[in-house]
Structure 1
Amino acid sequence: MSADAARRFRPDIEGLRAVAILAVLLYHAGLPVTGGYVGVDVFFVLSGFLMTRLIADEIAHTGSLSLGRFYARRARRLLPAVAVVLAAVALLAWLLFSPVDRDSVAADLVASALYAINWWLSGQAVDYFASGMQASPVQHFWSLAVEEQFYVVWPLLLLGAVWLVRRFAGAHDPRRTLLAVVAGVGTLSLAYSVVGTLRAADTAYFDTLGRGWEFAVGGVIALVPITRLTPRAATILAWAGLAAIGGSVVMFDEATLFPAPWAMLPALGTAAVIAAGTALPSARPQQLLSSPVMRHLGRVSYSWYLWHWPALVFAAAAFGELSAVEGLAVVAGAYVLAVATYHLVEQPFRLSPVFRRSRRALTLGAACTVFTVASGLVLALTIPSLPTKAPDEATGAPALGHGDAVQRSVDAVRPEPRLAPQDWPRNYDDGCHADRPETTSPACVYGDPESDRTVVLFGDSHAMQYFPALERVAKDRGWRLVALTKSGCPPPQVGLHNDALRRYYSECDTWRSDMLTRITEKEKPDLVLTGGRDTYTAMEGERRLDPAASAEKLRDGYADTLSELRGSGAQVVTIKDNPHPDKDVPSCVSRAPQRLDDCAVPQDVAFDYPHVADHAANRVEGAKLLDSTPAFCRDGTCPAVIGDVVVYGVTTHLTATYARTLAPWLDEQLSSLDVMG
């Protein structure tokens, strides 16, 4: 380390890294540290401070910035360890995961190697807080991707701003220019983040543009000289900053609206600690952060972060759900890997004289990236797949009435398990299933558009999944079919909390109200077929209700909806919610095609949730209930594969292929209920 670098080194910041990594690790291990995820926000602010300070110093001393040297430092410091960890993930996924899970991990590995996994996860609408140990073993790379994107763009932005001011304004103080740019970008990013979080918190969580303000907070602290604080004021500021971080760790939880505005608390707390250390390096909080233990943990924090999440995910895959104690043990094991990686990979490459030259370091970085991308591609290319049954050979639902209740093995199946999660009804692809932000539905007319008999399918995605069967019935009977469905928005007229959005689901209220008006006043159908998932969280004002209270409120709201629909003169049929598997069915089938008993679910387990639709239908005169249980279960068991067809795709949703085979059953049920003659 050069004399100048030693003078600028901040041991308290190394200790602050330890605070950040410990918060994340304890949270992921399963301890009741409900806001431990804010450790990532601490890292973001620290990165913003260190990078901005480095860039500003070089521009001040040399008048410019060597981009090659800047990126070379990042490459030799970060990428070798990433290559080792991602290669290990590819190997362990091949050994421990089912073909379906390997397929998912392969794509995630490539996205991680290219530092684009945050956008990949956002595009898939992955909920960071709901994934648990079923998440990808490289999901934690989202934050590293955000940081790498920052490392690429930040120096270009700051250097470009200085160049422009010099070009058009002549002599100037570069720090003033940098401060104006950093503050401006931070303000815009914060505004964008607040709007994005209020609109869709699950996707905003991974959004680089909505995280830029956290780096900017650190950048502002790097550019504003803070040297006039009294020792007392600096000490109080440092303690207040640590309290803000600690308070976030213990007070925040998965329902906290994040990242904005609440991420401001740990971000500003981190900034306060940095500022206090700038003014008074000898303050008591700085001494604690600079202790040997904290500095050591801070030094290995990068490798520890890389290893801890794959270790937890693979341990859960091998041994089942982990307790908090077991999670801590796994995290401790990851520490051993982290120390080894730090000494055997990080430091040798960072300090090697061979890679001091920028060109060689950049070549090293490119080689690491190519190697990790190749690991993902090799994993994808070595995944076995089950043969796919021809459409006319896959029986599906009708097979449940013949032979054994559970199909015990399969040599060919439809759809191939890796494709089952994407096997959605065509009205979904047609844009006729409203997503969460949408508050209206287009025409969405199927069957015979000219028919004088209209049927409406109304509800959430659990209603939408019956579309393939209902469309076939509508075509056979010459009905006009209107499909009106929306994600997470069931028929009950009740205010709901959306877990992914982490707020009141106001868009559902608007859509449901408008669709009920459309159904009763415009469509004026002969039949309305409603359905929905029974497990929603209802709200009473700003308060989320517990499962029992939510179920009762949903029943009341469902009865109100059925009464309103009946009042229009339409016949109304409500479909009882389908079984809820307790496992990932496509993954299980791909892992054990000759042991399908392992993938079946006992009926009492599959229906172990508060029932809403059937209770509501019994309250409303003229409303009829269609019990779907015989279409999925027999003799107390709900199979994963019926008639060589995979029943479930994503979580509790049916595959469109299986739903299509329900057409004869649905036609028979509607006839037995004396519906539409």
Structure 2
Amino acid sequence: MAEPTRAAFRGDIEGLRAVAVGTVVLCHAGLAVFAGGYVGVDVFFVISGFLISGLLVGELERKGRITLSAFYGRRAKRLLPMAAIVLAFVAVVSAIMFSPLRRDQVSGDIVASALSVVNWRFASQAIDYFASTQDASPLRHFWSLAVEEQFYLVWPSLLLAITWRRRRAGKSVRPVVWGALTIIAVGSFVYGVHLTDRVASVAYFSTLTRAWELAVGGLLALLLTGRGAAMVRRIPRAAAYAVGAAGLLAIAIATVTYSEATPFPGTAALLPVLGTAAVIAAGYAAPLPVLDVAPMRFVGKISYSWYLWHWPLLVFATAEWGPLTGAQGLAVLAFSLVPTIAGHHLVEERFHHSPALAARPARALRLGAVCIAVAVVGGVLLSTTAPSVRTAAASEVAGAAALTKGPEVQQTADKLRPNPRDADGDQPQMYDGCFVGHEGLDSPACVYGDKRSRRTVVLFGDSHAMMWGPAMDVAAKRRGWRLVTLAKQGCTIAMTPIYNGPLGREYDECDTWRERTLRRIVRKEKPRLIVTDSVSRYEYMDGDKRYGPFSPESVRALSEGTARTLRRLRGTGAPVVVMANGPTAPTNVPACVSDALHELEKCAFPKAGSVEGPPINKIAAGRVAGVAVIDPLPVLCPGEKCPAVIGDVLVYRDNNHITATYSRTLGPWLSRRLPPLRK
């Protein structure tokens, strides 16, 4: 298939780009009816696979080779200047609007976006339990561009490698390309289904789970430029219209019926991918008139620029005004057309159709290198120019000991421990190997405190139990206890099935780990005291039906399930202590503190209403005899407000987990409140 010319131009594919970008931007604007609009990205993938594979195979057949410099030069001048401008814009606005901590996060996103690896960065964050509390990145949408850039980088060289022998022998390369694309499509699809079933959040961003969508486009290009072309051309116009309309309908159905709760990509991606393939194939015989009209072609033409601009503006608007209504989201989308259209005409088109760059691919490649370098430097500067906070030594901070001076909120600090920029890493030492990940089923030994003692105390639960680990370690050493910490990521102590967001499915591993851990506590550890904690915002699952956090169904299931677990624990004969649920800040506390070191009052939040949802731990404890409750609010919210900093110690590592540093300073307080051990 030849390089596109005006004669070869397909207006219906330009219009299909309009469908793709339209579903994406309306989904991002928060319109509920377009909740599944993220499938527009899948439409883009199929179109890219179709066009790029057609170009490359056509060049191979005409010339017997692919001129890589020309290919990469075309991609560079077409895509990188506009992307570099958006990345620079994000760096500048982030420097003005965001806290130093959030600037650090966006800085990493800019560099990864410029290097076309940001999808892997987001995939790694997707399985980080704590990363889910971060504000949305203004570059989250660049993940799909990274997937396409990786496709552009790998596919031409792979084509040259797999067709080398047949080209030398003067044979057709198509059988080999058909075979390679089929293997890629099948392998990637099967892997995508598997990974979506296991860890949907990682599957969503992975190039390996999306490659089949690009391969489907490639197979379609082979069909429509080979022997199958004549067969497709013979399809009656009415039948072609029907197939194309069915393809559009498939995309529409996915858009309005899918949501963020849909396991994706997995098998669900078949609907928009095959729908897109149907539209493209049918359009070869008879393009759908609705797609090949001027307004649709115009939106399709500016789709790349609009895709780049709309999301950062939505994120910045949200940062300034709070969550946007549907009307506000639409207003931001309308405004985003200003830089979109200007950028398309002044940057995208100018570089794309530059005669000088077309004649000298090396110049286009140098232009691309400069664009990447500028974006990387901008990302680095965003972080390095942010105001810094000095880190206090452990001997210089008081932490919870400062509460003896009164409940007043600390107003200012010259130095902090931990540094807000390091808060995410201020975790209990027990995290190293003893905080079981999503797919883990067993806990290792995990012994702390006085390891030689015969008096065992168990700390059991989720990340909120683990955050009390440093305080429990201090208490155990003071009282001569052997401390065993047993905790799992995102796993409630309640004996009830729950949904796991990062995995995108029912959390079976939690049920297995909990049961094995309860047996270990009863049969092996034989503790003299058990301390437990678990948050209340888990989502109960009844079969395939999922109930939201704090819904009546979830509250009832979690309360009853927690009570069942507490009865099992009381069966050991040991006293059981439940930590009451602590407060949740309305924002990321370290980010706020990093920007308000001398106005810490801004980062404090009201105590009233700070505990999310019904107090499930207290409710369950009240149903089981012999279970005591310790309320942490007096040491987290000593007055009417919950301070972000107490005694020069940063209290929270995000918006609800306390730092290991502050937890350690609570050791004496917790030790005084724990009951005596049973004989």
TM class, shorter-chain normalised? over 0.9
- Deviation at 1:585? 0.6
Which deviates more, 410-419 or 553-562? Answer: 410-419
CA contact (8 A) 1:535 1:610 kept: no
CA contact (8 A) 1:133 1:313 kept: no
- Deviation at 1:524? 1.2
CA contact (8 A) 2:3 2:55 kept: no
- Deviation at 1:92? 0.5
2:240 maps to a residue whose letter is A
Residue correspondence of structure 1 range 87-106 to structure 2 within 5 A: 87-106=88-107
- Deviation at 1:353? 1.8
Q: Are 2:27 and 1:24 aligned?
A: no
1:85 maps to a residue whose letter is V
Per-residue CA deviation, residues 500-544 of structure 1 (Å, 9 max, x unaligned), is 222111010111111111111111111111101111111122212
CA contact (8 A) 2:521 2:527 kept: yes
Residue correspondence of structure 1 range 206-355 to structure 2 within 5 A: 206-224=205-223, 225=228, 226-281=232-287, 286-355=288-357
Which deviates more, 572-581 or 475-484? Answer: 475-484
Distance in structure 2 (CA, Å) of the matches to 1:59 and 1:256: 40
Distance in structure 2 (CA, Å) of the matches to 1:132 and 1:437: 20
Per-residue CA deviation, residues 618-651 of structure 1 (Å, 9 max, x unaligned), is 1111111111111211233211111111111123
- Equivalent of 1:406 in 391, 409, 418: 409
When residues 558 and 3 of structure 1 are mapped into structure 2, their CA distance, relative to the original with a 3 A threshold, is: closer
Distance in structure 1 (CA, Å) of the matches to 2:267 and 2:657: 34
- Deviation at 1:125? 2.1
User: What's the counterpart of residue 459 of structure 1?
Assistant: 461
CA contact (8 A) 2:440 2:509 kept: yes
- Deviation at 1:83? 0.9
User: What's the counterpart of residue 13 of structure 1?
Assistant: 13
Which deviates more, 147-156 or 131-140? Answer: 131-140
- Deviation at 1:173? 2.3
User: What's the counterpart of residue 74 of structure 1?
Assistant: 75
CA contact (8 A) 2:536 2:616 kept: yes
User: What's the counterpart of residue 369 of structure 1?
Assistant: 372
Residue correspondence of structure 1 range 151-162 to structure 2 within 5 A: 151-162=152-163
Distance in structure 2 (CA, Å) of the matches to 1:127 and 1:146: 21
Which deviates more, 252-261 or 408-417? Answer: 408-417
- Where 2:281 maps in the other structure, the secondary structure is helix
TM-score of the two chains, using structure 1 as the length reference: 0.96
2:603 maps to a residue whose letter is C
CA contact (8 A) 1:537 1:545 kept: yes
TM-score of the two chains, using structure 2 as the length reference: 0.95
- Deviation at 1:171? 4.4
Structure 2 unaligned regions, length at least 5: none
When residues 215 and 132 of structure 1 are mapped into structure 2, their CA distance, relative to the original with a 3 A threshold, is: farther
CA contact (8 A) 2:134 2:588 kept: no
Residue correspondence of structure 1 range 386-535 to structure 2 within 5 A: 386-428=389-431, 430-535=432-537
Residue correspondence of structure 1 range 566-581 to structure 2 within 5 A: 566-581=570-585
2:656 maps to a residue whose letter is T
Which deviates more, 500-509 or 69-78? Answer: 500-509
User: What's the counterpart of residue 645 of structure 1?
Assistant: 649
- Deviation at 1:450? 2.3
2:451 maps to a residue whose letter is P
- Deviation at 1:580? 0.9
Distance in structure 1 (CA, Å) of the matches to 2:439 and 2:601: 40
Distance in structure 2 (CA, Å) of the matches to 1:440 and 1:222: 49
Per-residue CA deviation, residues 248-269 of structure 1 (Å, 9 max, x unaligned), is 0000011100011101110110
Distance in structure 2 (CA, Å) of the matches to 1:570 and 1:639: 35
User: What's the counterpart of residue 551 of structure 1?
Assistant: 555
CA contact (8 A) 2:166 2:172 kept: no
- Deviation at 1:320? 2.3
Which deviates more, 436-445 or 170-179? Answer: 170-179
When residues 404 and 513 of structure 1 are mapped into structure 2, their CA distance, relative to the original with a 3 A threshold, is: closer
2:120 maps to a residue whose letter is W
- Where 1:450 maps in the other structure, the secondary structure is coil
Residue correspondence of structure 1 range 163-182 to structure 2 within 5 A: 163-166=164-167, 170-182=169-181
Distance in structure 1 (CA, Å) of the matches to 2:47 and 2:404: 63
Per-residue CA deviation, residues 550-592 of structure 1 (Å, 9 max, x unaligned), is 1111111111111111112222111111111111111111122
- Deviation at 1:132? 10
Distance in structure 1 (CA, Å) of the matches to 2:344 and 2:270: 31
Distance in structure 2 (CA, Å) of the matches to 1:504 and 1:466: 27
When residues 4 and 642 of structure 1 are mapped into structure 2, their CA distance, relative to the original with a 3 A threshold, is: closer
Per-residue CA deviation, residues 87-126 of structure 1 (Å, 9 max, x unaligned), is 1111101111111111111111111110110111111226
Distance in structure 2 (CA, Å) of the matches to 1:551 and 1:648: 26
Per-residue CA deviation, residues 174-209 of structure 1 (Å, 9 max, x unaligned), is 122211111111100001111111111111111000
Which deviates more, 495-504 or 268-277? Answer: 495-504
User: What's the counterpart of residue 44 of structure 1?
Assistant: 45
- Where 1:431 maps in the other structure, the secondary structure is helix
2:181 maps to a residue whose letter is V
Distance in structure 2 (CA, Å) of the matches to 1:404 and 1:519: 39
Per-residue CA deviation, residues 186-238 of structure 1 (Å, 9 max, x unaligned), is 10000111111111111111100011011011111111133332222211110
- Deviation at 1:3? 9.3
Q: Are 2:364 and 1:358 aligned?
A: no
When residues 266 and 426 of structure 1 are mapped into structure 2, their CA distance, relative to the original with a 3 A threshold, is: same
Distance in structure 2 (CA, Å) of the matches to 1:202 and 1:544: 17
When residues 448 and 479 of structure 1 are mapped into structure 2, their CA distance, relative to the original with a 3 A threshold, is: same
CA contact (8 A) 2:100 2:383 kept: no
Distance in structure 2 (CA, Å) of the matches to 1:589 and 1:605: 21
User: What's the counterpart of residue 204 of structure 1?
Assistant: 203
CA contact (8 A) 2:126 2:132 kept: no
User: What's the counterpart of residue 659 of structure 1?
Assistant: 663
Per-residue CA deviation, residues 467-487 of structure 1 (Å, 9 max, x unaligned), is 111112212222211111001
CA contact (8 A) 2:434 2:446 kept: yes
1:216 maps to a residue whose letter is A
CA contact (8 A) 1:385 1:416 kept: no
When residues 537 and 633 of structure 1 are mapped into structure 2, their CA distance, relative to the original with a 3 A threshold, is: same
Per-residue CA deviation, residues 284-322 of structure 1 (Å, 9 max, x unaligned), is xx2111111111101111011111111111111222222
Distance in structure 2 (CA, Å) of the matches to 1:528 and 1:374: 52
2:611 maps to a residue whose letter is F
User: What's the counterpart of residue 606 of structure 1?
Assistant: 610
Distance in structure 2 (CA, Å) of the matches to 1:413 and 1:641: 8
When residues 48 and 163 of structure 1 are mapped into structure 2, their CA distance, relative to the original with a 3 A threshold, is: same
Distance in structure 1 (CA, Å) of the matches to 2:373 and 2:322: 33
Q: How many residues in Structure 1 have an aligned counterpart in Structure 2?
A: 666
